[in-house]
Chain A
Amino acid sequence: METVTVNELTPNDLPWRIEWDPCLCKLCGSCVAACTFQAIRVSVEARSYVYSQGDVPTPLEGERYAVPVIKQTATVQQHCVGCGMCEKTCPNRAIRPRRNEDSRWEIFAREGGSPIKRGGRANLNAGDRTFDKIVVGRISQMTDPSLDAERHTFDILAPFGRVLPADKMPLSVKDGKLSLNKPLPPVRWIYPLIFGDMSIGALSPRAWEAVCLAAACLNEKYNLPVRMCSGEGGMPMRLLKSKYLKYMILQIASGHFGWNRIVKAMPEMQEDPAGILIKIGQGAKPGDGGLLMAAKVAPHIQAIRGVPKSDLLSPPNHQGLYSIEESVQKMFLSMNAAFKFRVPVGIKTSATASSVSIYNNLLRDPYHIVGGYFIDGLYGGTGAANEISLDHTGHPIVSKVRDCYLAAVAQGRQGQIPLWGAGGVGMTGNAAADAFKLICLGANGVSVGKILLQLMGCIGNDHSRCNSCNTGLCPTGITTQDIKLVRRLDVDKAAQNIVDYVRAFDQELRKLMAPIGNSSLPVGRSDALVATDKAVAEQLKIPYAC
């Protein structure tokens, strides 16, 4: 008889259980080799049988023998995350993870006294989306014609940069024509979809390269001026010195990672970057600095960031910053000056109850150097965070973009500092619908991240599947620096998937612009929307319909 060991973990305590069918298994070991989390292993188990002969049961012990089996590991460190690589790799589909509704994971996962850390996205309340309670409800019918998404021309571009009001522009009339007396602050008209801030470090070199490739391809082949934000962590020297830098938005965050290289590369840059984004906070873990676990600080990351191998924590605040006035003066001025005022500089914060105050402050911008306000909402993703931040802090993006837009309207300053929204755009797969609704509510454009990972092959979801970007063990080679895992990712296919998605996104935007009769982006055209939820309608100041 075995002792009952109540406090030992068994697979039924874990969030995922492995189902393995020994009848189908040919014992090739592929699943064990594929599992980056070592959540399954090859083991040998004892078997025996008892038999009986004759008319009366007379148990006799048969032979004892050992069989090879695939066994689930039951430890906190090596638990199944449900990634399903075992099933993907099994030639006979003999093994798969199954969600365990009796999981006690939340109870014992803090083993060792440290908070749960993970990557991915918020896993609570993800099903109840405001986006899905809004419908494009003002359709051009008899009063005005719908446009033809296939044949009409559409202008789908968004500003990134400080826009001056008409009466502040340095214009004069000469020979019946307006002329500019001096240059305006730099404004880039870009596609209203930015590939959001994922650092080289958070992503594997191949994944990061795939996103870069997709951005370049969309620009050069399909004439869609999509921009990609570097994330905090610099970028390869070759890219900094290449002409493709013009497609990149450089991010600076509180750790200043990678900026040593960027500054050194400046004299040799062929092109200006598309913009600079100062990161104050991010939606997935508001109030928390960036985090790159040591497991992912591979030699090339050490080189790019100029750091030793260790956990890399960006402080929650930019050092030496006391107030928003200072931030405008110090950070914006210095970043504007870095490229001699030729490159727009924006700022990103997590969505917060105080976003409107922030935007109001930015709108005053007496120096004309604030080129955009990027708000990152609750459902944004991250490479690594404390789970408590991921699941329990943050602010939804939809009402926040709306509040900020209406605050600008109240001052007659809408459009002067472009508003960009992010955090859950495309969560259910259709980024165009989410983007369009956010634009009607006042955003100039949106930023996406998670959907790009999913297009590249990430199998994580908003219901606790995988979300192990922090571990360095990403089974799809997307958020790992382990060279063997990185090789799993087909960089060309990953880039192609993104390109295809954005091309479809563009068509889908037209399919929403055409029925409301607009050939330009309907920024702030809230009358195009109706809400099917009264509270949402009231909060967003759009009509309710049922």
Chain B
Amino acid sequence: MCRVGAIKSKKYTHPAKVLYLMLPQQKGHDNSGFAMVMQDLGGVFAPYKDLPLLSYAGNTASVEKIHNYMQGKGFTLRFEWSPQTKPQSGLDIALLEHYNFEVYAYPPEYQNAERSVKENLLTNTRLALRAMTEENDAAFVYSFWPDVLTLKEIGNPADIGSYFNLWQEDTDFCAKIITVQCRQNTNYAIVRYAAHPFFLQGYTVLANGENTFYVKNKEFQKSLHRGYLGFESDSQCFLYTLHYLQHELKWPLEYYKHVITPLPFQDLAKREDKAVLLALRQSLPHLEINGPNTIIGVLPDGRVINVNDSKKLRPVVVGGDGETVAISSEVCGLNVILPDRDQEKDIYPNEREMLVIDNNLEVARWKQ
């Protein structure tokens, strides 16, 4: 089973925190990988919040290929950073040659373009880079978006932490939102693209569970948006639905819950808004999810959400100390990173609610 975690903090937080969050839960995962998305970046990336940051890993040839492509499209490299690696013998990690995080300036003709135009450019660029580096796994292009950094690798999370020197807290590499997951998927082949969290156009999602409506979701989503691809993991479907409802249809957030786990017909019939809820249920049955799942999402405005399957078949807990709120599959993770919090106030979300953590770290519980 996966274990998932998320930290949202008022202060910049180093990834060491998420390693400490996940380590106590290692009996629940299988130590097969480490993947994180950092958003609202501080440290060395703080001066570049408005510029797109490309996160990828690959071999030397692919790095050159990517640089050439970016140059050809008019992007200018403004800042590049790679983690200070600490190779040691005996580490359980499937290494690639390069782990690059590169900040680019938009091509001149896009610099004053509207936001949606820029967003499309970034997505198209990432998809193009992915396509051109896919052969022989030359590189893995995870995200290309302002203020978002993605690092994924196969291996033991503790060893991955050691290799990338993530155990050592500093102020250079930090963010206010970090989402993390420590397991490679088992349903399909182990590929880095299959590791949560997944990111698309400002939306991040990770999940612990099994989406048994994966085929239904996938077959429907494939035709909705060019960015809905890969499907290396059944959990990508959660991201694409969130993105579709929010970014494409521009529906209020609460309807994410109504679409993925609609109310039973008999409950729905008692609601004042039954006409709308029934319309959504009948229009989007292929985005409904089944199976055990707890889903953590990050929205472009920095809010962090949690929703669960309709039978609440996976664990999750939310706790905070006023400065930091964390979501974790198991409470033992919270106890390590937030030992002084009031445990009485921990929240164990149920199957019919959505938790929304806003930028003031207030946790709202929306009842479906």
Contacts and interface: CB of A to CB of B under 8 A. Distances in A.
B84 interface: no
B303 interface: no
Interface in B310-343: 310-311, 313
Contacts of B275: 180
| Candidate in B187, B213, B288, B290 with the most chain A CB atoms within 10 angstroms | B290
Interface string A125-161: 0000000000000001001110100001101010100
Contacts of A523: 216, 285
A415 B291 contact: no
Interface stretch (A22-30, A167-175, A260-268): A167-175
A517 B291 contact: yes
A167 B265 contact: no
Contacts of A163: 282-283
B39 to A, nearest CB: 24
Given A140-B212, A176-B252, A525-B213, A187 B282 contact: yes
B301 interface: no
B94 interface: no
A145 B313 contact: yes
A415 B219 CA distance: 12
Contacts, number: 111
Interface in A519-540: 519-520, 522-527
Interface stretch (A62-70, A229-237, A406-414, A447-455): A406-414
Contacts of B244: 166
A124 interface: no
Contacts of A109: none
B215 interface: yes
Given A415-B286, A517-B290, A518-B290, A152 B265 contact: no
A365 to B, nearest CB: 15
A145 B292 contact: yes
Given A144-B209, A145-B313, A412-B223, A184 B279 contact: yes
A516 interface: yes
Nearest to B248: A167
Nearest to B209: A144
A410 B293 CA distance: 28
Interface residues of A, number: 42
A143 B210 contact: yes
Contacts of A165: 283
Interface in B238-260: 244, 248-252, 254-255
A522 B216 contact: yes
A140 B209 CA distance: 12
A180 B277 CA distance: 10
Contact of A189 (B250, B282, B292, B313): B282
Nearest to A412: B223
Interface in B252-282: 252, 254-255, 262, 264-265, 273, 275-276, 278-280, 282
B250 A412 contact: no
A411 B223 contact: yes
Nearest to B313: A145
A438 to B, nearest CB: 15
Contacts of A171: 251, 276, 279
B284 interface: yes
B264 A153 contact: yes
B255 A527 contact: no
A442 to B, nearest CB: 10
A178 B262 CA distance: 15
B367 to A, nearest CB: 14
Given A173-B250, A518-B290, A519-B310, A159 B282 contact: yes
A167 B67 CA distance: 38
A138 to B, nearest CB: 8
Contacts of A166: 244, 249, 280, 283-284
Contact of B216 (A152, A176, A525): A525
B214 interface: yes
Given A144-B209, A516-B212, A178 B251 contact: yes
Nearest to B214: A527
Interface of A: 140, 143-145, 147, 152-153, 155, 157, 159, 163-167, 169, 171, 173, 176-180, 184, 187, 189, 409, 411-412, 414-415, 516-520, 522-527
**9 cross-chain pairs, A with B, having the tightest CB-CB distances, nearest first:** A412-B223, A144-B210, A527-B215, A518-B290, A144-B291, A409-B219, A517-B212, A166-B283, A178-B276
Interface of B: 186-187, 209-210, 212-216, 219-220, 222-224, 244, 248-252, 254-255, 262, 264-265, 273, 275-276, 278-280, 282-286, 288, 290-292, 310-311, 313
13 contacts: A140-B210, A143-B186, A144-B209, A165-B283, A176-B254, A177-B273, A178-B273, A189-B265, A412-B223, A517-B292, A518-B212, A522-B213, A522-B290
Given A159-B282, A184-B279, A522-B216, 7 more contacts: A163-B282, A187-B282, A517-B292, A519-B311, A522-B213, A522-B290, A525-B216
